[in-house]
């Protein structure tokens, strides 16, 4: 593995290298702001009919916390109780992923147009 690879790896797994490395804090803030604006604009267009499925869908999306949970649970040098916290967090997030997407789809399947109504 080249030297460059090792240093880029340190960015995602800083704990393996004992420190947080060069964190791009301002970059993260930019991402946050832009994502919020995209979110606001996309959500404003969501049909009011679908507000309940929207909430269960975003619920599943916010279970993206599973990413952080995996990183914590898989940490090699972590004490057992930290690993346990990560594992419980994986359990919680997976519950939301599975139930969130399934129930959203179950609800959306029920929304039907009137028969013979123009497409």
Partner 1 sequence: MSPENLVQLLYLVATGLFIMSLRWMSDPETARKGVFSGVAAMILAVAGTLAGVVTTGGTHYWWILLAFAVGAGVGYPLAQVPLTAVPQRTALSHAFGGLAAGLVGAGKFFLYYGQDNAEALAPYIVIAIALEVLLGFLTFTGSLMAAGKLQEIKWIPQRPVTYPGQNVINFGLFALALALGAALVLHPLAAWAPAAFLLVVLLSLAFGVLLILPIGGADMPTVISILNAYAGLSAVAMGFVLNNKLLITAGALDGSSGLILSIIMCKAMNRSFTNVLFGAFGQAQAAAAGGEAKVYKPDTVESAAQIMAQADLVVIVPGYGMAVAQAQHRVRELYDQLKKRGVTVKFAIHPVAGRMPGHMNVLLAEAEIPYDDLVEMDEINGDLPQADVALIIGANDVVNPAARADKTSPIYGMPIIDADKARTVYAIKRSKNPGFAGIENELYYLDKTFMLFGDAKVVVGELARQLAEGGAH
Q: Rule CB under 8 A: is residue 3 a binding residue for partner 1?
A: no
CB of 37 to partner 1, least distance (A): 8
What is the footprint of partner 1 within residues 53-72 (CB under 8 A)? 53-72
Q: Rule CB under 8 A: is residue 113 a binding residue for partner 1?
A: yes
What is the footprint of partner 1 within residues 33-52 (CB under 8 A)? 35-36, 38-40, 42-52
Q: Rule CB under 8 A: is residue 5 a binding residue for partner 1?
A: yes
CB of 10 to partner 1, least distance (A): 9
Nearest to 90 by CA among 75, 76, 79: 75
CB of 65 to partner 1, least distance (A): 4
Instruction: Label each residue of 41-110 as H, E or C.
Output: HHHHCCCHHHHHHHHHHHHHHHCCHHHHHHHHHCCCCCCHHHHHHHHHHHHHHHHHHHHHHHHHHHHHHH
What is the footprint of partner 1 within residues 73-112 (CB under 8 A)? 73-79, 81-83, 85-112
The answer to whether residues 56 and 107 touch, using CB atoms and an 8 Å cutoff, is yes
């Amino acid at each position: 593995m080249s030297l460059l690879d090792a240093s880029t790896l340190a960015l995602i797994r800083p704990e393996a290298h004992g420190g947080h490395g060069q964190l791009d804090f301002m970059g993260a803030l930019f991402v946050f702001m832009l994502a919020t604006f995209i979110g606001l604009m996309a959500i404003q267009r969501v049909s009011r009919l679908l507000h309940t499925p929207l909430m269960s869908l975003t619920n599943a999306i916010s279970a993206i916390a599973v990413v952080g949970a995996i990183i914590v649970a898989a940490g090699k040098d972590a004490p057992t109780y930290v690993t346990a916290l990560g594992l419980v967090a994986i359990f919680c997030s997976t519950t939301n992923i599975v139930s969130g997407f399934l129930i959203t789809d179950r609800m959306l399947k029920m929304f039907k147009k009137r028969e013979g109504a123009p497409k």
